[in-house]
Structure 1
Amino acid sequence: MIQQFIELGEGRADVYELVSLIETKKDAAEHLLRLETEKSGRRVVSYILVCAPAGGKFQPLYVCLEGIPHPEDQANERSRMIEAAAEKHHVPLASFAVKPSSEFYERDLFYQHLIGVLRMNLLIPRWQ
């Protein structure tokens, strides 16, 4: 099974796209993940929508990466919109603290690290 991150952006206008994906893929949505990290001295979050495998061999992971302030530090409508859409459509939310993507030489290495974390926590299937 191939798990592939599909970048929606850094969470400004892309929040609406993520909310739309939660609503249109509500039957395929398995989890919404909130990744908490510190980047450039401020706490930020990323959101990942984990969908069921498509065609049995490909699993899309839609991501808004490190562009939304942490909701505990700064109340923001973006986090509320995403989490409210997930709650409305009964998509479970899980939170993790992770290293920022800037600590990795390439973004692909960051995504490989995340795939390992998600597999270890049984949020996506193991390599087959």
Structure 2
Amino acid sequence: MIQRFIELGEGYGDIYELCELAKVNKERIHQAFIFSSTKDDIKYFSIAIALKPVNTANFFPIYICREGIVETQKESKRLSIFKEALNEIAIQPVTVDIKHSSIYVDVNLYYQYIIGILRLNNLIPPLQ
């Protein structure tokens, strides 16, 4: 099974697009994630949804808005939009603490790192 991240942007439009993907594909959602990372003592959040493969396809997509949400005193509007959309379709996101992407030379290495963490914690299926 191919497990791959599909990166959206980090703006409001991208967050709304991710939320719409979740609503339209609510039967296919395997899991929703909120990834938190820290860089220079500032906490960043990424949001993602993992979708089950379609029919006999061996493709397990994980749509992500990477590190576009910065922690503030009150919850970010972007984070609350994501949580509200998931609440509408009765999905509870899993929060995972990870390293910041700036540690990695290549974004593909970063995504392999996250896939490894998700597999080890049984949050996504193992390779078949």
The two structures have a TM-score, normalised by structure 2, of: 0.92
Q: Distance in 1 between matches of 2:32 and 2:11?
A: 14
Task: Tell me which moved more, 110-119 or 12-21.
Answer: 12-21
Describe the superposition over 1:22-65 as per-residue Cα deviations: whole angstroms up to 9, x where unpaired: 11111111211000011344111000101112234000100000
Q: Distance in 1 between matches of 2:53 and 2:92?
A: 17
Residues 1-128 of structure 1: pairs in structure 2 closer than 5 A: 1-54=1-54, 55-70=56-71, 73-128=73-128
Describe the superposition over 1:97-122 as per-residue Cα deviations: whole angstroms up to 9, x where unpaired: 10001101100000000110011111
1:11 CA displacement: 4.1
Aligned length: 127
The two structures have a TM-score, normalised by structure 1, of: 0.92
Q: Distance in 1 between matches of 2:123 and 2:45?
A: 18
**Matched residue type, 1:96:** V
**Matched residue type, 1:15:** I
Describe the superposition over 1:77-97 as per-residue Cα deviations: whole angstroms up to 9, x where unpaired: 111110111111012210011
CA contact (8 A) 1:49 1:62 kept: yes
Q: Distance in 2 between matches of 1:59 and 1:48?
A: 13
Unmatched 5+ stretches in structure 2? none
- Where do 4+ consecutive residues of structure 1 move more than 3 Å? none
Output the aligned Cα RMSD. Answer: 1.4
**Matched residue type, 2:112:** Q
Task: Tell me which moved more, 9-18 or 25-34.
Answer: 9-18
Q: Distance in 1 between matches of 2:10 and 2:69?
A: 7
**Matched residue type, 2:50:** V
Unmatched 5+ stretches in structure 1? none
Q: Distance in 2 between matches of 1:99 and 1:11?
A: 21
Identity of aligned residues (%): 34
**Matched residue type, 2:53:** P
